Amino acid sequence: MSKLTTVRPLIAGNWKMNGLTAALDEARAVAAGVETDPPGARVAIFPPATLIHRMADALAGQTVAVGGQDCRPEVSGAFTGDTSAEMLADAGATMVIVGHSERRGGYGETDALVLAKAQAALRAGLEPIVCVGESLEQRDAGRAIEVITGQLRASLPVDALKGEAFAVAYEPVWAIGTGRTPTLNDIEAAHDALRTVLIELFSDQGAGVPILYGGSVNPKNAADILSQKEVGGVLVGGASLKAADFLAIAARA
């Protein structure tokens, strides 16, 4: 760990809609790698909902956490195809991603809905990772900081989060799955702005909330990104699908 911090960085792997039973071997390999070569980081995998229960069983007693990629705010009900935070927890998840840009963009999820999902996560005892990120048009218009700080303020259930573990992920939409990343200066500027909001909303607690960077993180760029002062971890999509790549990223923390 190259930075002075009391909070261990979080290395989170978002498998998205990838992974059948055989992929549990990748999760086992991640857990084994973390056991033998422990990074100075927390490591978590967010598989598709169909694998959560079996992955949680497969990794029981090990240090790699399992999380959901999304949840619905309600506890239960007539919501065909959806999964509640309680169901994720019941399946063995301890964390959940809310407000990923593929949900905000693909399903029209608003900040208010993301806030309700984060609240549901807390109700179920899950640690939420609340995602924010600007589009390319917004960045080109010079509005990136305004957009992400606005999303953050409107997506956090502040009273419910006081004293609770949670993380924020800054994921520029144009960097997800594209191989493009912002400059290190741009990452740091975004994280600084998000940190300022967190401290304003949560005082001392806000200084310790991990702010993850996400968007085309790979074993080559991870060390530089993780060395930025306000980067408290990474949210990794494509490069989390292979245990060797994901472990190489975790080793940079």
Q: Catalytic amino acids?
A: 100, 171
Q: Which stretch binds ligand PEP (CB under 6 A): 29-37, 201-209, 232-240, 245-253?
A: 232-240
Pattern 162-191, binding to ligand PEP, x per CB under 6 A?
Answer: ---------x----xx--------------
Instruction: Compute the distance between CA of residue 111 and CA of residue 53 in angstroms, rounded to an integer.
Output: 29
Residue 236 binds to ligand PEP (criterion: CB under 6 A): yes
Instruction: Compute the distance between CA of residue 244 and CA of residue 248 in angstroms, rounded to an integer.
Output: 6
* Cβ distance to ligand PEP smaller for residue 202 or 233: 233
H/E run at residue 92: none
Pattern 98-137, binding to ligand PEP, x per CB under 6 A?
Answer: ----------------------------------------
Residue 216 binds to ligand PEP (criterion: CB under 6 A): yes
Residue 73 binds to ligand PEP (criterion: CB under 6 A): no
Instruction: Compute the distance between CA of residue 71 and CA of residue 80 in angstroms, rounded to an integer.
Output: 13
Instruction: Compute the distance between CA of residue 245 and CA of residue 168 in angstroms, rounded to an integer.
Output: 23
> Which residue's CB comes closest to ligand PEP?
237
Instruction: Compute the distance between CA of residue 76 and CA of residue 85 in angstroms, rounded to an integer.
Output: 9
How many residues form the binding site for ligand PEP (CB under 6 A)? 14
Among 9, 10, 11, 14, binds ligand PEP (CB under 6 A): 14
- Let me know: does 33 contact 245? Beta carbons within 8 Å: no
Residue 69 binds to ligand PEP (criterion: CB under 6 A): no
For the chain, how far is it from start to end, CA to CA, in angstroms?
6
Instruction: Compute the distance between CA of residue 121 and CA of residue 72 in angstroms, rounded to an integer.
Output: 9
Residues that bind ligand PEP (CB under 6 A): 14, 16, 171, 176-177, 214-217, 235-239
